[in-house]
Structure 1
């Protein structure tokens, strides 16, 4: 069933919030890329291809419980580009919560996510996981 790019962005967050990671295989292009510009050290700066993106997200339940991403989606003049301002509230299975503020940039090609850029506050990552920013 055809869907709008806006609906696809919503599907991305729905997949994360419900743990239905198989949905990610339906919404990312085969050669898609996720770029994490503020990553450092052991945190990946990118995930390559639909399979790499799926592998990353489907491994989250090993360390994390419930995830919530309240969000506002901003379409642009280009129907294939969306900005999303969102917050993350993620339960850490070993105890506590990881909370951060994000900006996401979604770029579409042929109705699928071709590129996803995720900007977050690295200081909050450092505090939540006890890692030094390098």
Structure 2
């Protein structure tokens, strides 16, 4: 065996910022494809999800989910109330320490009765050991309220 044959070449590790961007895009792809197994695999056991903006205008978050099961339950609910989940004009930004990613996107969603549900999203995703540990979902709460009959104000 020659020396060159005994050396195993491997690709260099991805820079942390690139790896976080790829994890973020994979998370969104799993949501778009309604892949609950992949979403579950993405979540840290201590995951949280917060929806800070309420249709009422109250300063308290509209929703807060704590722990992997609650967060996965929230994602399951989205997959059930939306026939199509599609993010358009997607922009992903990652902090220099690669611990947080930000997503800006238009949501081209449809409900099971084929009503379009267009909204605008900004997500903050915090990562720990390659797992999603905290999400903050910012969307227009008035769009949500009008579409789903939630009282405004």
> How high is the TM-score relative to the length of structure 1?
0.87
CA separation in 1, counterparts of 2:73 and 2:132?
16
Deviations 1:39-77 (A, max 9, x none): 357x95111111111112123343220110121101122
Partner in structure 1 of residue 116 of structure 2 = 97
Distance 1:61 1:81, change over 3 A: closer
| Aligned: 1:119 with 2:138 | yes
Number of residues of Structure 1 aligned to a counterpart in Structure 2 = 132
> How high is the TM-score relative to the length of structure 2?
0.77
SS across alignment from 1:55: helix
Distance 1:60 1:120, change over 3 A: closer
Q: CA deviation at 1:128?
A: 1.7
1:63 and 1:94 in contact (8 A); partners too: no
CA separation in 2, counterparts of 1:58 and 1:81?
23
CA separation in 2, counterparts of 1:61 and 1:32?
19
**Cα RMSD for the two superposed structures:** 2.1
Deviations 1:76-125 (A, max 9, x none): 22211111101111111134111111111111111111111111111211
Partner in structure 1 of residue 85 of structure 2 = 67
| Aligned: 1:46 with 2:47 | no
1:69 and 1:86 in contact (8 A); partners too: yes
1:22 and 1:54 in contact (8 A); partners too: no
Which has more strand, going by share of residues? 1
Q: CA deviation at 1:21?
A: 1.4
Partner in structure 1 of residue 95 of structure 2 = 76
Partner in structure 2 of residue 31 of structure 1 = 46
